Amino acid sequence: MTCKEVREHMLDAIDEKPVATVDEHLRACATCAQELESMRQTMALLDEWEAPEPSPYFDSRLRARLREAAAEPRGWLSWVRGPAIAFALAILMMASIVLFRNAPDHEAPMNAKSTPPTVVQTGTAVSDLQELDHDGDMYANFDMLDDLGTEAETANP
């Protein structure tokens, strides 16, 4: 038997219940035998120990403190305080979820139809940027590029 296995059966050995393999190991291993003896001494001390008696006035003082605690004036909101806080937090959480779900998506691209058209002179920087933006929208659609490629091939045989 190993020392670990003997430690699992150490309480049986303290009660002096015969376990042959444990006894053999204890005769051969001084460390385990010393640990067993230390545990026996500890158990003997615990058997001798007596819990201290409470003072004779303990019960009467405890009852007096309980009466004082019960007689303390409490506000009319004291019984509501716990549930009210929990209810308020639940309402706050639900409101934040509703507001989060109904919030506008700021990352969505601007809709071109929602802005009024502006007249810009050709050849200016603004018109060039608008043209590049229009080209970017066109290049974003790859199907349109494929169609443009076939149109160019058919036009130039």
14 burial (CB, 10 Å; 0-12 / 13-18 / 19+) is middle
Domain map of the chain by residue range? 3-48, 119-155
Given this model, what pLDDT does residue 93 score?
94
Q: Which residues of the chain have pLDDT under 50?
A: 112
10, two tokens: 């150490």
What is the 3-state secondary structure of 89-119?
HHHHHHHHHHHHHHCCCCCCCCCHHHCCCCC
